Amino acid sequence: MKRKLLSVILSSAMAVTLLTGCGGGSSTPDAAADTSSEAAESTVEESAESTEDTGAAAAEEEAAAAPAGDGSVYLLNFKPESDQQWKDLAAIYTEQTGVEVNVLTAAEGTYSTTLQAELAKDEAPTIFNIGNVTAAQTWNDYTYDLSGTALYDHLSDKSLVINYDGKVAAVANCYECYGIIYNKTILNDYCSVEGAVISSVDDIKDFATLKAVAEDINNRVDEINDALGTNLTGAFASAGLDSGSSWRFSGHLAGVALYYEFLDAGCDLVAGQGEIEGKYLDNFKNVWDMYVSTSSADPKTLEGGTYNAEMEFGMGEAVFFQNGNWEYAALTNPDNGYEVTDEDLGMMPIYFGVDDANEGLCVGTENYWAVNSKASEEDIAATLAFLEWVITSDEGRNSITNEMGLSAPFDTFTGDYESENAFVRDNNKYMADGKTAVAWSFNATPNVDDWRADVVAALTAYTNGSGDWDAVKTAFVDGWATQWQLAEEAK
């Protein structure tokens, strides 16, 4: 690598620091330093421009200028399913640049112990994965500040980082998103029905409009079926409170309430804090009541496990369905016999009645690249150059999107390198339009299984009429403080 470029990379990467949030500490045993859990401005103006048209050529030109021996790269890969793809990429980069890139993939469920062992070696990984703030705390001495790098600069959403100890400790390498999945075809056709409360799907930009549409469809479902030839039973798919479905609400819907509260508190949005007020529980209630009242499911039997929301949506019996981009494969799998196709699928935010005009989808990950700060200057520079090549070159982008099947959060992944997942495409548009992604604040949940169980029990009683909303508030707020304390004591 040219020495001038090396000095620019190193000086710029150390120039910017960010304030850390107030959360710190552990959130839940399931999201500890072990990076496995449910599911841790580039000023380099002489480096490659990373536009759709020139990114690959510029990245390759820069890489070709880096002579062998200027540093090496060692990637400790988190995902066993992508082992061969990373090894193939490493071989291509070494062939093009002469820079040695080694890849080691940890076996399933062993990443934490493998990372610990490998970082203790003289030839330690220069790239490793962390999943959350807790992991950033554990490996703080090993995480290089990425705030002045091309990797950070190319992030489509700068919230997709882990900030810790005044630095950008890690940058997301992939993401998932969730929101309200909707049937674009049926919703567009609904707009042509006499008396429809909207004239275009684009009119749904806030909770009040979404609620009005859902109520209108639900109240006139037979009339709409006759007009459109559809087979709707309600506006929303069932909001099951059984163990196979309740996580959508005690986790993902609750996560939106937590996000806005953490945002107000100035906390790290993913690490959270030990006490909450339930400041946005009325918004949670409004959304939940809409789900239940505009579905054909009996509110008294939601905990029974007899409902299948995915099937209801897939068979065209519902227009709306709260879930995530992981549903795309199931909904479009011909073996499932669903009626919906890719062209039918869209995703909108879970409008919460707080900042609807700016709200995007709920976006998060537990897969973040960290660069080893204890590596030599030459190895750090080589590592940053390699990662930039991965997200700007044709070879790297093709591998990430089309071979590994990941959704990459970088502005270079457009055109042929944009995900084919309809929900990811929608999220990319929200990002491009400047909407704010809602962080996965539910990752902060202490003793996650116990806290969620109490919330679901109270939510079930409220919904079937045997309890009241105050009990939900108690389970949500007091239960959080209790479980947080228990989690702290268990450390």
Split at pLDDT 50, 70, 90, the class of 65 is: very low
**Quick one: pLDDT at residue 55?**
39
Longest dimension (CA), the chain: 73
**Calpha distance 311→307 (Å, rounded):** 9
- Whether the pLDDT of residue 40 is over 90: the answer is no
Averaged pLDDT, 355-363? 97
Residue 10 or residue 378, greater confidence: 378
**Calpha distance 203→227 (Å, rounded):** 21
Instruction: Look at the alpha carbons of 430, 351, 312, 406 in this order and tell me if their dihedral is positive or negative.
Output: positive
**Do residues 151 and 408 lie in contact, with contact meaning Cβ atoms separated by under 8 Å?**
no
**Calpha distance 454→290 (Å, rounded):** 22
**Do residues 467 and 268 lie in contact, with contact meaning Cβ atoms separated by under 8 Å?**
no
**Calpha distance 419→112 (Å, rounded):** 29
Phi, psi of 471, deg, nearest 5: -70, -35
Q: Encode pLDDT of 427-450 as tens digits.
A: 989 988 999 999 999 989 999 999
Phi-psi region of 21 (alpha: psi -120 to 50; beta: other; left: phi over 0): beta
**Do residues 328 and 421 lie in contact, with contact meaning Cβ atoms separated by under 8 Å?**
yes
Residue 287 or residue 488, greater confidence: 287
Closest CA to 78 of 156, 174, 177: 174
What are the Cα distances from residue 315, in Å, to 205, 223, 327? 26, 19, 14
- The bridge status of strand 127-130 relative to strand 368-371 is antiparallel
Residue 1 or residue 324, greater confidence: 324
**Quick one: pLDDT at residue 70?**
85
Split at pLDDT 50, 70, 90, the class of 69 is: low
**Quick one: pLDDT at residue 159?**
83
Q: Which helix (DSSP H) or strand (DSSP E) does residue 257 occupy?
A: helix 254-265
Q: Indicate the SS3 state at residue 181.
A: strand
**Quick one: pLDDT at residue 402?**
87
**Quick one: pLDDT at residue 1?**
35
What are the Cα distances from residue 104, in Å, to 71, 82, 112? 18, 11, 13
Q: How many Cβ atoms from other residues are within 10 Å of residue 205's Cβ?
A: 14
Averaged pLDDT, 117-135? 93
- Whether the pLDDT of residue 319 is over 60: the answer is yes
**Do residues 168 and 147 lie in contact, with contact meaning Cβ atoms separated by under 8 Å?**
yes
Mean pLDDT over all residues of the chain?
87
Lowest-pLDDT range of 99-113, 247-261, 340-354: 99-113
Q: Encode pLDDT of 272-284 as tens digits.
A: 999 999 999 999 9
Split at pLDDT 50, 70, 90, the class of 131 is: confident
**Do residues 372 and 123 lie in contact, with contact meaning Cβ atoms separated by under 8 Å?**
no
**Calpha distance 287→206 (Å, rounded):** 12
**323 forms bridges with which residues in the sheet?**
179
Averaged pLDDT, 465-484? 98
Instruction: Look at the alpha carbons of 340, 344, 349, 351 in this order and tell me if their dihedral is positive or negative.
Output: negative
Domains of the chain, CATH where assigned: 3-175+365-413 (3.40.190.10), 177-363 (3.40.190)
**Quick one: pLDDT at residue 6?**
34
Number of alpha helices (DSSP H) and beta strands (DSSP E) in the chain: 19, 11
Averaged pLDDT, 153-175? 93
Closest CA to 190 of 167, 159, 219: 219
**Calpha distance 490→468 (Å, rounded):** 32
What are the tokens at 253?
């819907």
Q: Encode pLDDT of 205-260 as tens digits.
A: 999 999 999 999 999 999 999 999 999 999 999 999 999 999 999 999 999 999 99
**Quick one: pLDDT at residue 17?**
30
